[in-house]
Structure 1
């Protein structure tokens, strides 16, 4: 039986996914396991896809997960975890998106720190931090879902741990949007 998540549970899942998409640390495997556990009741398909990432994070030494993160997201331009880059490349449109995101973050008192505002982890952390669900729904529908779909298609193999993480996130976002009337 699939259960409906509360708004708070949604926001907490955004924050868990955000932690999984930033540079890994010693808690990454535990965060992945918690995220998967929370997905099981509301979206078993997303939980199942996340299992590959969680298993890898639990089995690999921390240095191997760090190497995989760097090789995937920092050294290979196809996999850059920046929504604007995935949607627009290095263009004027991306620059405008960065400006708009910075304005949106300021309006909501959100600080992205030193990271660019279109980084997947920052967008997820922002969405998990603010209570204005309408602006969040627009970000999910117009930016996150298309960028995730683009990122997924760039992976050469289907068994890459970060691909399974991205697929899990996309499945969860799509399901939440569809089944809960964009109550993100």
Structure 2
């Protein structure tokens, strides 16, 4: 069976339309992936590199991401970590594990995770040990590198959950809302009508 069709069947496709991804979109999505990871000294050290990458982009989303970079540089590390945990670990509606939003504790979640691992393997992408394949920063990293067919497949399976997390972050006025929003806007994710 075609890998794309197998994955759509495994993840219960939602008919998301996704255009071909250009290098600017992939770069912006890669930056968003980094900015949605747990803040630590490595991330703070990467802020300068991310800012340099963004300066080379023509996207209207750049100022949005520059604001979160400013926030990360100006805010003490312990406060960034507290805010991150409060946002993503203590608020289930903002969980970064996309399959949880779709399946909760249902056994179907395990099948969805296995389907994502198969999609990643079919696309030539290796997930590091200890990371679940539905972890949103990892999903965005994958989207920044994968073939277009794999991006379509993944977004068809979990695009709705990504939009729901983005909407919740916006509703709660999280400083992370613009990051995910910029990534989704760059991907131009929309429901097929």
TM over 0.5: yes
Match of 2:51 in 1: 33
Residue 71 of structure 2 is matched in structure 1 by 56
Structure 1 residues 50 and 11 mapped into 2: Cα distance closer, same or farther (>3 Å)?
A: closer
The TM-score normalised by the length of structure 2 is 0.72
Q: 1:117 — aligned with what?
A: 133
Residue by residue, what CA displacement relative to the aligned partner does 1:143-165 show, whole Å, maximum 9, x if unpaired?
1x312221133247553201121
Structure 1 7/64 Cα, relative in aligned 2: closer, same or farther at 3 Å? same
The separation in 1 between residues aligned to 2:21 and 2:133, in whole angstroms, is 26
Instruction: Kindly report which structure 2 residues correspond to 1:11-160, keeping only aligned pairs within 5 A, or say none.
Output: 11-25=26-40, 26-27=44-45, 29-30=47-48, 33-34=51-52, 36-37=54-55, 41-42=58-59, 44=60, 46-107=61-122, 108-130=124-146, 132-143=147-158, 145-155=159-169, 157=171, 159-160=173-174
Q: Is the CA contact (8 Å cut-off) linking 1:20 and 1:28 kept in structure 2? A: no
Asked whether the equivalents of residues 110 and 126 of structure 1 are also in contact (C-alpha less than 8 Å), the reply is no
Give the TM-score normalised by the residue count of structure 1: 0.75
For 2:177 and 2:66, the matched residues in 1 are separated by 11
Deviation at 1:31, TM superposition (A): 5.2
Number of equivalent positions: 167
Tell me: CA distance 1:79–1:101, structure 2 relative to 1, closer, same or farther (3 Å): same
Partner of 2:15: none
Q: Considering fraction of residues, name the structure with more helix.
A: 1
Bigger RCO (CA 8 Å, 6+ sep) = 2
Note the residue ranges of structure 2 that are not aligned, 5 or more in a row.
1-19
Name structure 1 gaps, 5 residues minimum: 179-184
Provide the C-alpha distance between the structure 1 equivalents of 2:30 and 2:160, rounded to a whole number of angstroms. 20
